[in-house]
Structure 1
Amino acid sequence: MARTKRGRRSYGAGEWGRNRVRVFPDPKTGLFQIEWRENGRRLTRSLGHRDWTRAKRQADEFAAGFASPELNGQKEAEPEPLTLGTLFDIYGEEVTPNKAEASQRSDRAATRMFLQFFGRGRKPSTLSQRDWDRFIRARRAGKVGPSGKPVSDRTIEHDLKFLIAVLNWAAKSRDERGKLFLASNPLRGLKTPTEKNPTRVVLSEDEYQALLEVSRQVDWRFHVALVLAHETGHRIGAIRQLRWSDIDLEGGVVRWRAEHEKTGYEHQTAEAVAVLEEARERSSGLADTPVLPAPTDASKCAGRSLVRAWWYKAQTLAGLQPKRGRGWHSLRRKFASDLMDQPLKVLCELGGWKTAKTVLQCYQRADEGQLRKALEARRRPRGRGSESAGVKRRESGLSSS
């Protein structure tokens, strides 16, 4: 009886001890292998392709005696046309594992969504403007996607960028025969929807102080995370993944690992030493243990859902009304706005931004106090030297007339 094993792509056909055959992907190349026994010896041969459906069919044929590992000496058939299912499978096996953990989860969710919407058997070369527009309409209406709810244009833009990335990769990558998966990206140049007025809330100083006041009532880990997010400007994902091997308390340095940074940018910053010393007293402080350990397992970092729950609980305790966009990332925007008087190069280094353009477009926002300060500086007298020079210019103008 044929069956597919869970957790690892492997397919078996035939009966044990008689005509058992198994197909599975080579972990290095991704090409499917066929395995069988002959005179007590286990033999393996590469099928030379990554087509899962075709590999299973070959296993069934070999087990039934219709074909040998050499396909009865016949010339190997032409490869089947590339489908979206096969393309996403290959991309998921070769490209996605090289991304950060959060990006891997995002890739898998987007893959399921696109395959459900377009179908696994759809040929990627047939995608067009109509499919693009149809997906945007369905996503906006909540007819497609894991939540089943309408989403913003920002989310749709993120989804479509992943689809474009897969198609671009296919247009540059070749199969085992040296042929490009796609001659070109059929969706290249199409315009993605953009959020006209994206919600980018900056946490105010009063709101931060209110959260800080109740932070220890929530959890000591929340207090540490809150202060670190405020003082370093880093993402909560990078903060909760910190381990004591990343911390140099004597030098006052925090090492931010590239694999936990969304930008993939590894750097150091000297901040929040006092709160880290408090965290070391609360946790084991051993080199490879988390700075913010999970309550149920000290060897693991606090999870995303837990730190999100801490934030909502703190808002309630602080008496802050729920506000869309006010979350951990609003602290990162506060950090960028508070240090607006610093050179952009310095700010990017401190907060882990790769480009100043991102800071200017998405993170910094001048408050009323900063605007007033700039106007007051503009209205100040220029000094006696410049004033007297102006008088002389006016006098010379009168005399010349």
Structure 2
Amino acid sequence: MATQKRSGAKRKKCWSQSIGEYKLTVRVYELYPGSNLYRSVWITSPGKKSGKEDKKSLGHKDRDRAVREAYELIAHLRSTSDGVRQGEITLGALKARYLAGRKHAAKAERTRKEDERKLERVVAFLGATKRASSLDEEAVLEYVEARRRGDPSLLYVARRGSAGVRDGTIWADLVALHTMLRWGCVTKNKAGVTLLASDPLKGIEFPRELNPRQPIVTHDDVERLLQAADTVHPLLRPALIVGEGTGRRNGAWRQLRWCDIHFDREEFGAIQWPGETDKGKTALYRPFSPAVRDALLSIRPERPDPDWAVFPSSVDPRRPVNKKTMWDWMEKAFAAAGLPREPGGMWHTLRRKWVSERKGYPLVDIAAAGGWKDDRSLKSYMQEDPETVRKVVLEPTHRLRKRGGTE
């Protein structure tokens, strides 16, 4: 029986191309003819002779695009070294440096984590290998549109259909990005050159919330909450009084310790607000009112340890009650008092109430008393109220007259 000869058809070769130079090469290739493209780069850690291969699917078959992405990756890898030339640093490398820098480390822990998530989301969308200096208004608008429609490719985005977010949230993301870029304009590498020559987003307007959600409670609301507080938890009533009477953030007064409370100072007592629990890391000494004094005395142990929390957890007097528990108490108080709760309207409503009820004082003094770093940041909390608006219309502070006494 004759042996059948195999077909003479040649096997089709897989496409492959290497980009770069010695010790810094990116290879883009097919796994098999017509497959999606892959890229591989050999990464060697500093001080080590051997390294490991970083392999990743590009998710497409466009060869020209794969080559462009390979060049961008090489630029990104180069920019991770301190010798990167000005303007060539990529967003990914700039983000890594910024998050490892002192400016970011000086922020409060919660703020640091929030900024990290924002930057990871924006940089991942815009492209970690994209040169930071190449950002423009088109890139900003592309991100804004994706965030508004709830693009599923965005990191840390709740999957709730196709609903996006409000402009205030988008603005916060872009401000985090802009802060990083401006940091790059003043931070130098070992050669003494700033990472960025100029701010690529200077002059570009970010979307602002036209009708921001800033819920506030009235004095009558607080009275109803106080009446309902005892049915929720014994600590809720004094917590409401301290929060409403000091105007400080929940995180500041919730973490107070008895060593911070001084009943023998000022007229009714004072609090030495520690910088560790303040959003701006600022330690302040401020007096408190008779109502706050009475509330604190009502929960003060007979012989408190200075390190005990004023509002302790149920398991350890040295640990303050956590934020979620305090949130749950407030939510139950709203329900028990029969008060509707607007989105975003929880403990921060007391801070807005506090500042809005003190409009008659100079802004600089209100900011100092309530723990704002300046009166500019204070203004976003201060809200209009019908009584003050009525006085502005009907009771002018003075009349303008011509010199000589003739009106």
Is TM (by shorter chain) over 0.5?
yes
Q: Which residue of 2 aligns with 1:248?
A: 262
Q: Which residue of 1 aligns with 2:383?
A: 364
Q: Which residue of 2 aligns with 1:276?
A: 296
Q: Is residue 72 of structure 2 the alignment partner of residue 61 of structure 1? A: no
1:146 partner letter: Y
Q: Which residue of 2 aligns with 1:262?
A: 279
Q: Which residue of 2 aligns with 1:25?
A: none
Please state how far the C-alpha of 1:276 moved relative to its aligned partner. Answer: 1.3
- Residue 96 and residue 344 in structure 1: after superposition, are their counterparts in 2 closer, same or farther (change >3 A)? closer
Q: Give the Cα–Cα distance (whole angstroms) in 2 for the partners of residues 188 and 376 of structure 1.
A: 43
> Contact 2:258/2:308 (CA < 8 Å) preserved in 1?
yes
Per-residue CA deviations over 1:245-269 (Å, capped at 9, x if unaligned) read 2111222001223343334443222
Q: Tell me the SS of whatever aligns to 2:317.
A: coil
Q: Tell me the SS of whatever aligns to 1:254.
A: strand
Q: Tell me the SS of whatever aligns to 1:88.
A: helix
Q: Tell me the SS of whatever aligns to 1:220.
A: coil
Q: Which residue of 2 aligns with 1:90?
A: 97
Q: Which residue of 2 aligns with 1:126?
A: 134
> Contact 1:200/1:363 (CA < 8 Å) preserved in 2?
no
Q: Aligned Cα RMSD in Å?
A: 3.1
Per-residue CA deviations over 1:301-335 (Å, capped at 9, x if unaligned) read 22222222222111111111232342211111111
Q: Give the Cα–Cα distance (whole angstroms) in 2 for the partners of residues 130 and 77 of structure 1.
A: 29
**Counterpart selection for 2:156 from 136, 146, 162:** 146
> Contact 1:345/1:356 (CA < 8 Å) preserved in 2?
yes
Aligned ranges 1:281-320 → 2 under 5 Å: 281=301, 285-320=304-339
> Contact 2:250/2:348 (CA < 8 Å) preserved in 1?
yes
Q: Give the Cα–Cα distance (whole angstroms) in 1 for the partners of residues 343 and 213 of structure 2.
A: 8
Q: Give the Cα–Cα distance (whole angstroms) in 2 for the partners of residues 264 and 322 of structure 1.
A: 30
Q: Tell me the SS of whatever aligns to 1:171.
A: helix
Q: Which residue of 2 aligns with 1:33?
A: none
> Contact 2:261/2:271 (CA < 8 Å) preserved in 1?
yes
* Structure 2 runs not aligned, ≥5 long: 1-41, 53-80, 400-404
Q: Give the Cα–Cα distance (whole angstroms) in 2 for the partners of residues 78 and 364 of structure 1.
A: 50
Q: Give the Cα–Cα distance (whole angstroms) in 1 for the partners of residues 396 and 134 of structure 2.
A: 60
Aligned ranges 1:12-161 → 2 under 5 Å: 56=45, 59-61=48-50, 82-94=89-101, 95-143=103-151, 144-148=154-158, 150-161=164-175
Please state how far the C-alpha of 1:57 moved relative to its aligned partner. Answer: 6.9
Q: Tell me the SS of whatever aligns to 2:300.
A: helix
Q: Tell me the SS of whatever aligns to 1:169.
A: helix
Please state how far the C-alpha of 1:118 moved relative to its aligned partner. Answer: 2.2
2:336 partner letter: L
Per-residue CA deviations over 1:126-169 (Å, capped at 9, x if unaligned) read 22211111111111222235233522211211111111111111
* Structure 1 runs not aligned, ≥5 long: 1-52, 64-75, 383-392, 395-401
Q: Which residue of 2 aligns with 1:349?
A: 368
Q: Give the Cα–Cα distance (whole angstroms) in 2 for the partners of residues 256 and 324 of structure 1.
A: 29
- Residue 301 and residue 108 in structure 1: after superposition, are their counterparts in 2 closer, same or farther (change >3 A)? farther
